[in-house]
Structure 1
Amino acid sequence: MDVVRGSRVLALGLPCSDVVLEATASKVVPEQLTFSADHQWVPVDPLDALNSFGQRVHVWQVLDVAGEQTEVDLGWYQLDSWKEQENGSVAVVAYGLGIRLDEDPMVWPSSPRRGARLLEEAQRLAGDHLPVILDPGVENVVLDDGLAWGRSRTEALRDLCLSLGLVSRVGVDGYLHLARHRTDSRVIDAIYTERDLLLAAPRTGKREGRANRQTVVGSSGSGEDATKFAATAELTTSPFDADYGVVREITEISGTTSRVGVQAAASRAQSDAAMRATTRSLEIVADPRIELGDVIGVKTSTGELVVGRVDGYSLPVSTGGSMRVDLEVLAW
């Protein structure tokens, strides 16, 4: 673990313990890193290595496999808080670099310039905080005229991505990546079985309140001249028929200015909901390669094959042991 502040290196190879990296896709800033350091690292001055005045940590995990060491880059995190423990050590909490966008709302609501393309507008919304990259398969399309955003950079980027069927994430390189929302269960990044890394995949049953009505609300213009649009896409096939009841998810976006655009966003949301069969939590031998949005397959000892999109995980970085992986199970 290395610590920097701006271009200044504050610590190289920081001695640390109890390092855990957790991520939850539904959070505004998905990644949280926690760790401990010895008492000599307890901050005293604002610019000390483990204080929270812009200090960032770059984390690697070193794996020893059959005597050969491999480094896995786990990315960058901004220090958020620290607390001195009874034994004199310091416990630190850090978040993914998306926190830099969330902490710096724009002064005024804004709109893309006429004829702006996706990459240009995403970079404008991200400001100087993070460079933006379009992942393979994402076209640098010209945006519709009349788009309008509020002050929140994270909400504006969310709406921009939602309107185009994309997701945004901060990669281990510290760049903001725009990628296609993965719903295809035919393309699998990795398969886990009980002969290798899978430890447990218990089956559970619970009414999760999954939405079978997707309503998207959008608007064009502002004030009294604003025109509002709403579109609903329904999932009516069994088991989400009338006897299931109505569970409605309402999403409000500013990334579209027409009824057609709102209907397209609602249809994409319904299609994604139809692909998600249920949720499943796995226990595997810690695998630092897993990222949010990956599609993985799991084959149990009973022959059951589960394919799902990674929605969250808890990775014990320094202690080894088992890792929890939460999946949105995809229908075949």
Structure 2
Amino acid sequence: MREGASAEQLAKAVRWEPMVSSWLGGQVLADHIPIIRGRATGTTRQKVQSELRITVPPTSVENGRLRRWRPDAPEHALAKNGQVLDVSLNVEGTLIRIGRYKVHDWKENGDGSIDVWGKGMLHDIDEDRLQAATGPRDDGTLRSEFARLTPSYMSAQFDPTLVDRECPKAMEWPKERLDALYEIADAWPARLREDAWGGIRILPPLPDAPIPLISLHDGPDGTLIAAPLSDTREGAPNVFVVTSSADGVEAQAIVSIDNGPMSAAGEYHPVPEFFSSPLLRDEADCLAAALTHRAESLRRTKIRSATLAPDPRIELDDPIELIIGYETDEQVTAWGYVVGFDLPLTPRDGEMQADVAVF
């Protein structure tokens, strides 16, 4: 959950304002970019987890001077030459950080306004491919190799509860740098997330059962508008086969969903998923990874797509309680984790969307 305004403040707030600045390295190119409309999105379903879309007016007046917002010079605040947009929301005087986004595209509209698309900072790592295959150093561990493969312009913070271990020497990562980081996280097992400052956080797997930090309900005084439910077989395996590909190691773990509607022994029928990595040293490592994959599968298909009043506290992985039909005979309560959000940046942009993987 993002730090900033409290639930009481958000319930009473009628105004919020996007605070968007542009940076190129350590230089501020614009400390306040006017926004006509905009949305910030996040998802756990993509390698690059966050995106930004904003529309900026053709011109604005700053300190009595006209400023043009079409990026017609390489060093312009909205150009795509390394410019980073830093985004926060000012909610009734309380600042809530949303994220940092590298400008990726821009387009001039017929009315002169400028549409700008930004991608989260993980996109830089996705583009910054390794120039040659590389293997671990002699004393390399999961943590040290993750840090070594992370470019120097990106910070990485490791949760202290993660237990580090040695990397096998006889392995290589190919040229896809971001894939290599995800492989280390998957084998650990851990979660790789981008933080609001544009850095990386390496976190332990989510608990099997969420303990909600945020409760949303519909009805009087509620901020939840609707939360229809959907479910799919797509991306929903029920057998998880994890093996070590390290030289001289014969280790494997197979776990399955053994009860409920997705049981591999039932009419759902087996749908296997395979994961292999030389970072897995033995059966215990394979089992930990397999159990994590099983937990993720159980929570990524049954989704309540919540429509709600904008709540900038909500971010990926937040445990949330949804109460539908609040204080009626039809009341339904669902707990789950946020797997996607679409946050409006101005009041005119309408409601917020949040996808919650429910149990």
Superposition TM-score, scaled by structure 1 size: 0.88
Q: What RMSD over aligned residues (CA atoms) do the two structures have, in Å?
A: 2.3
Of the three residues 348, 351, 358, the one matched with 1:322 is 351
Quote the Cα distance in structure 1 between the aligned partners of 2:145 and 2:175: 14
Q: Distance in 1 between matches of 2:301 and 2:27?
A: 48
Report whether the alignment pairs 1:7 with 2:26: yes
Which structure 2 residues correspond to residues 134-213 of structure 1 after superposition, within 5 A?
134-139=158-163, 141-146=164-169, 148-194=172-218, 195-204=221-230, 207-208=233-234, 210-213=236-239
- Residue 158 of structure 2 is aligned to residue 130 of structure 1: no
For the 8 Å contact 2:133–2:175, the answer to whether it is kept is yes
Give, in whole Å, the separation in 1 of the partners of 2:114 and 2:300. Answer: 41
Larger deviation, residues 211-220 vs 304-313: 211-220
* C-alpha separation in 1, matches of 2:243 and 2:114: 46
Q: CA deviation at 1:257?
A: 4.5
Distance in 2 separating the partners of 1:227 and 1:63: 55
Deviations 1:148-205 (A, max 9, x none): 4222221111111111221111111222111112133242221111243211112346
Residues 232 and 301, structure 2, Cα contact 8 Å, conserved in 1 = no
Instruction: Give the residue type in structure 2 aligned to 1:89.
Output: S
Which stretch of the first structure deviates more once superposed, 282-291 or 192-201? 192-201
Gaps of 5+ in 2: 1-19, 59-67
Mean alpha-carbon deviation: is it higher for 127-136 or for 89-98?
Answer: 127-136
Task: Specify the code of the residue in structure 2 equivalent to 1:41.
Answer: W
What letter is aligned with 1:322? Answer: E
Q: Deviations 1:6-62 (Å, cap 9, x if unpaired)?
A: 122111111122110111111110111000112221111222111101000101111
Q: Look up the match of 1:90.
A: 114
**Preserved CA contact (<8 Å) 1:159 1:254:** no
Contact between 1:283 and 1:325, CA under 8 Å: does it hold in 2? yes
| Deviation string, structure 1 residues 184-237 (Cα, Å, up to 9, x no partner) | 32422211112432111123465556211122354124xxxx878664322121
Deviation larger for 289-298 or 103-112? 103-112
1:303 aligned partner: 331
CA distance in structure 2 between the partners assigned to 1:184 and 1:94 by the alignment: 33
* Paired residue secondary structure (2:245): strand
Match of 1:42 in 2: 70
For 1:167 and 1:246, how far apart are their aligned partners in 2? 26
Aligned to 1:24: 43
Given that 1:220 and 1:257 are in contact with CA atoms closer than 8 Å, whether structure 2 keeps it comes out as: yes
Helix, strand or coil for the counterpart of 2:279?
Answer: coil
Kindly tell me: are residues 90 and 276 of structure 1, through their superposed partners in 2, closer, same or farther at Cα, counting changes over 3 Å?
Answer: closer
Q: Distance in 1 between matches of 2:299 and 2:42?
A: 22
Mean Cα deviation higher: 308-317 or 273-282? 273-282
Q: CA deviation at 1:79?
A: 0.3
Identity %: 26
2:254 corresponds in structure 1 to 232
